[in-house]
Amino acid sequence: DAKTTQPNSMESNEEEPVHLPCNHSTISGTDYIHWYRQLPSQGPEYVIHGLTSNVNNRMASLAIAEDRKSSTLILHRATLRDAAVYYCILRDWRAPGGSQGNLIFGKGTKLSVKP
């Protein structure tokens, strides 16, 4: 799986939007872009994923650059509960069965939310 680059940390104010960037310049045409987050003392939690088009769900939006070499996770109104480490991960949809469970995590972006 291709590599991703994220800032080590970001800060946000409560109730303001947050844009978390991710660079993946070596992405292949068959890589999905996944985002997970890990709240303190918990396991990672799926947030959103996409391939080419922008995606929205109840938790966040994912904006994918036209060349797919970067993407941005958007939290529309940050809350204190959104303070977590956010991981951007690439997954090849052709991955054989034996690697379905193999997500390659980097160090992610630690998001702090100020009241």
Partner 1 sequence: ETGVTQSPTHLIKTRGQQVTLRCSSQSGHNTVSWYQQALGQGPQFIFQYYREEENGRGNFPPRFSGLQFPNYSSELNVNALELDDSALYLCASSPGTGSTGELFFGEGSRLTVL
Interacting residues with partner 1 (CB under 8 A): 32, 34, 41-46, 49, 85, 87, 91, 93-95, 97-108
CB of 107 to partner 1, least distance (A): 6
- Judged by beta carbon, residue 7 or residue 14, the one nearer partner 1 is 7
8 within 8 A of 71, measured Cβ to Cβ = no
CB of 82 to partner 1, least distance (A): 18
- Judged by beta carbon, residue 65 or residue 104, the one nearer partner 1 is 104
Provide the 3-class DSSP secondary structure of residue 80.
helix
36 within 8 A of 90, measured Cβ to Cβ = no
27 within 8 A of 2, measured Cβ to Cβ = yes
9 within 8 A of 109, measured Cβ to Cβ = yes
CB of 23 to partner 1, least distance (A): 16
- Judged by beta carbon, residue 24 or residue 91, the one nearer partner 1 is 91
